[in-house]
Amino acid sequence: MQTPTDPETMTPAQRAVGDFAPKLVELTDDVLFGDVWTRPELSPRERSLITCAALVANGNTEQLPHHLARAKSNGLTETELKELIIHLAFYAGWPRAMSAIAVAKDVFGAQE
């Protein structure tokens, strides 16, 4: 798989990984976002809520900016996403919630 060179036509996975791990790009683009995210059993909004919750709960803040922005475009509000993080403070841990809310503050502040 040859990665396009124009950043405007590249997928997020292509921008992040490029030709370094083309199979991972292919799986991300074709299977995860091309199949799993498009299955009708859950709405994109529900998938975003689940994904953001999983990222916060596992402390994966490096993936959170992209998914918070995606969640907003899938219909979740900033208030709902903040509440998700607050709720998870009690289930996933305070440090993870504090790290996630700092990311959310950066993401939401940048979009204003």
pLDDT of residue 3 exceeding 90: no
Beta carbons of 13 and 28 less than 8 angstroms apart = yes
CA distance 32 to 20: 19
**Mean local confidence (pLDDT), 28-52:** 96
pTM, full prediction: 0.85
pLDDT of residue 66 exceeding 90: yes
CA distance 44 to 34: 12
Count Cβ atoms below 10 Å from residue 54 Cβ, excluding itself.
14
- CATH 1.20.1290.10-classified regions of the chain: 43-111
Beta carbons of 92 and 57 less than 8 angstroms apart = yes
Architecture label for domain 43-111: Up-down Bundle (1.20)
